[in-house]
Amino acid sequence: MAKYVVLVPDGCADQPIEELDGRTPLEAASMPNLRRMAARGEVGRAQVIPPGLPPGSDVGNLAILGYDPARFHTGRAPIEAAAMGVALAPGEVAYRCNLVTIDDAGTMVDFAAGHPTNEQSHVIIAALDDALGQGRDGVKFHAGVEYRHLAVLPSALADAVCVPPHDLTGQRAQLPTGSAAGKLIDLMDASRDVVTRVARDVGSSASQIWLWGQGVRPQLPPFAARFGVSGRLSSAVDLVRGLGVLTGLEVVDVEGATAGFDNDYAAQRDACLESLADLDFFLLHVEATDEAGHQGDVDEKVGALESWDRDVIGPLLDALPELGAHRILLLPDHATPCVLRTHTSDPVPYVLYDSEHEAAGGVYTEAATAAASQVPAHGLMARLLAR
């Protein structure tokens, strides 16, 4: 059997940037290995975010794994709950619980609260659970990674429209609406005293929590039963790790893999190659490209793409032939334009590479694929794994 690799540079697609002379980071970055792969692969344009669904990594990565988000998506937070080992009982709904920084004027200064360390944020969430959670009124808080945490609430509080905090950077925070909005706003307001006090003690800039991305546990058919292939994935992000748990893919813990600019790309690459010695499928996801987009940091985004090309794509292209026939699918889960600092639903470029069959080839950029017909991203997995 062939070996199959999916490479997901989160949010790498972008829009033309003035400081790059009207180019996108994909166009400006030096990526000889991606060019090599695209030159003999199938290059096209995929719709990772179906109409009517939010342009998030939950939707996009679900599609990349071959599950139609319009059918299977229930929300972001229950996927992250699975990664954290939090079992949602009937009658419970999970909410993503960001630590954020909102100033006295109500402006969302930082959706990530200055990226606290896990040690800092875990102290804050523990204090928050002591004060407002521990099952009182059905409310529980669970510590996650950096600023990304989880709140489990009664399912009666699921009916709300919540704006993701990364969509509000520099703007006045838009509070939830809907029948459950009052309870959610009360909970976020009540968090201020606890979060501000404890954050100050541990050296964090967090000022309160922000609830969003709610949902109940999704019912996803096992990946192996669906596609006839078993495998593993590597990601430093709970969202992607949770999809692994829910679909039955083994989640690999890679030392040095982070959700930031210090990610150890080589360690993730090595985990991929080691896994493919025994199994046939591996998904490798990195977050740094998305994080750079959210920060509006053009240099970091270009640098992350170049690290990805040098430390992941190139060595994989060189090493995979030793394992025999192989295919690679590469695409982001959405676009995160630096100028907007948030996700968009724009179609993204993809490349499908087959070591046994050379395709027409192309250029892997947003502009080069703009005229291509859109294909639904959730159909690409079946094509990658087709016998």
Chain-centre distance for alpha carbon 208: 23
Based on the fold, state whether residues 106 and 166 are members of the same structural domain.
Answer: yes
Based on the fold, state whether residues 244 and 211 are members of the same structural domain.
Answer: no
> Per the confidence metrics, is the pTM higher than 0.85?
yes
The answer to whether residue 81 sits within a structural domain is no
Based on the fold, state whether residues 275 and 160 are members of the same structural domain.
Answer: no
Q: Decide if 208 contacts 196 (C-beta within 8 A).
A: yes
Domain boundary, last residue among 215, 243, 275:
215
DSSP secondary structure code for residue 13 in this structure: B
pLDDT digits (tens, 9 = 90+) for 273-297: 999 999 999 999 999 999 999 999 9
Domain boundary, last residue among 164, 187, 215:
215
Based on the fold, state whether residues 204 and 104 are members of the same structural domain.
Answer: yes
Closest CA to 120 of 93, 145, 142: 145
**Environment class of 336 (CB within 10 Å of its CB; exposed 0-12, middle 13-18, buried 19+):** buried
d(CA 60, CA 237): 14
At residue 387, does pLDDT exceed 80? Answer: no
Two structure tokens written together for 360: 């027409």
Domain containing residue 264: CATH number:
3.40.720.10
pLDDT digits (tens, 9 = 90+) for 109-131: 999 999 999 999 999 999 999 99
The answer to whether residue 208 sits within a structural domain is yes
The answer to whether residue 82 sits within a structural domain is no
Based on the fold, state whether residues 228 and 174 are members of the same structural domain.
Answer: no
pLDDT digits (tens, 9 = 90+) for 177-191: 999 999 999 999 999
Based on the fold, state whether residues 344 and 355 are members of the same structural domain.
Answer: yes
d(CA 95, CA 336): 22
At residue 246, does pLDDT exceed 90? Answer: yes
Closest CA to 100 of 118, 115, 122, 119: 115
Closest CA to 243 of 269, 214, 213, 221: 221
Based on the fold, state whether residues 252 and 374 are members of the same structural domain.
Answer: yes
- Under DSSP, is residue 137 helix (H, G, I), strand (E, B) or coil? helix
Q: Which domain holds residue 160?
A: 88-215
d(CA 49, CA 72): 13
pLDDT digits (tens, 9 = 90+) for 141-152: 999 989 999 999
The answer to whether residue 226 sits within a structural domain is yes
Domain boundary, last residue among 177, 198, 215:
215
Based on the fold, state whether residues 181 and 205 are members of the same structural domain.
Answer: yes
How many CA atoms lie less than 13 Å away from 377 in the CB half-sphere?
31
Based on the fold, state whether residues 109 and 142 are members of the same structural domain.
Answer: yes
Q: Decide if 159 contacts 178 (C-beta within 8 A).
A: yes
At residue 339, does pLDDT exceed 80? Answer: yes
The answer to whether residue 80 sits within a structural domain is no
Four-CA torsion 13, 18, 19, 23, nearest 10 degrees: 40
Based on the fold, state whether residues 255 and 122 are members of the same structural domain.
Answer: no
The answer to whether residue 274 sits within a structural domain is yes
The answer to whether residue 360 sits within a structural domain is yes
Based on the fold, state whether residues 356 and 239 are members of the same structural domain.
Answer: yes
Q: How many domains does the chain have?
A: 2
d(CA 43, CA 196): 49
Based on the fold, state whether residues 237 and 380 are members of the same structural domain.
Answer: yes
The answer to whether residue 344 sits within a structural domain is yes
